[in-house]
Structure 1
Amino acid sequence: MGPSGGVTRSTLRQQIADALRDEVLAGRLRPGRAFTVKQIAEQYGVSATPVREALFDLSAQGLLSSDQHRGFQVHEFTVRDYRAMVEARSLVVEGIFRSPADQVAVRAEALPPIRRRAAEAVRAAKGGDLDVLIGYDLRFWRELGAFVLNPYISAFLTKLRVQAWVFTVHRLRGEHADEHVLWFGHEDLVEAIAADDEPRVLAVMQDYYAHALAWADHLETRERGNPAPE
């Protein structure tokens, strides 16, 4: 991914950040994995400056942690962190949809591509294809988030969703992907929003968060049964 032609430093910075985010979301850069600016610069064949900027960008998004001596590492989220992410999104989203006239503007012309994203996400979830699922799921929630009139809330929800996938992806690699692990309700949510059916929207969202919290319970039970070695 070396620079070419008219690629600017800021574009290169974004390209590196996007590439590393994809590596983290695919589970190829696992939590706790440490690396330096020099290592990433050599990997991509670029100078240190855009790499350093990209790594600081990902740190600001909560995906990386930095240490003066060890460099950067993929942030290790705990089950407690994941539970807090789910609960935070639940509180914000329920607040939004309980007063939609002030906070949400659904654009009918934007619904067809979101429906396609939802269908692809469900297909990938049922097929257990995490790489495809993560891409469509993030686009699905980001495009739904664009209906939220407050851009800070929308950005906050997107950040939490990305962090949740960072926590989730490597754990899901060892699970049998079925309805007990993956959520299949994307299409139900789109149709509820399209119908302007607030109770149905809230019911689907509550099902989504209950599903996520049930999986957190499962992880906590499993961790208690298999404590980490001292």
Structure 2
Amino acid sequence: MPRYHKLGNIPPKRHTIHKSNDDKFYYEELFGTIGFEGMSSLIYHTHRPTQVKKILKSYNVGPKIAVENNMKSLMLNGFNIKPFDDFLDSRKCILMNNDCQIILAAPKQSLTTYYYKNTDSDEVIFVHKGSGKLRTFLGNIDFEYGDYLVIPRGVIYQINFNSTDNRLFIVESKNPVYSPKRYRNWFGQLLEHSPYCERDIHPPNELETYDDKGEYMIKVKKQDTIHEYVYAAHPFSAVGW
């Protein structure tokens, strides 16, 4: 029983002509994280989402391992992490292996001057302190203390905070983030002993659509390197999905 969600303006059939009220074509994009075999969405845009105007600098953000092959017990005082204004600068990897990175962050300012896309990993952001709004091209989600934000790889987003006092626990997973198989029945429905159920899952419910062209900075993470791309159209150009 796969979960189906739709938002905004979509045609009754997929892979068909879809036009606006003023007879302009919308552009269909198949967005997925595991090629044609994994979960996917059909997104309809006011502009082609692949238009890159220019590529600026690239810089490495890969974590440097301080202690390897460790067998000693360690205590990490996560709330002592230093706050930073910038969202990406505030993210500090404290533990890692071949599958994931454990990151702590204390961003003071909302992410508004650029957009971010992690193409390496799915992200799970636990809100230890703070509240605000996650803005993505698939829609927006309000969040508060105790929420988990699950952001699939490839999703372009910004994150707005309601204050400067924020604490985030972030997992970057190189494997897709799914519900554990032991908590699902044969149809995919969450079982009664699962620690959460479908009522706890809140998909995006507010779609922002911009029919604008210009220069929009997207910082793309690929293989622990940030690449600065400038898109020719607003990344939030989806009218529906």
TM-score (norm 2): 0.21
Q: Which has the higher helix share?
A: 1
Q: Which has the higher contact order (CA 8 A, sep 6+)?
A: 2
In the superposition, the TM-score normalised over structure 1's length comes to 0.22
Relative to its length, the structure with more strand (as a share) is 2
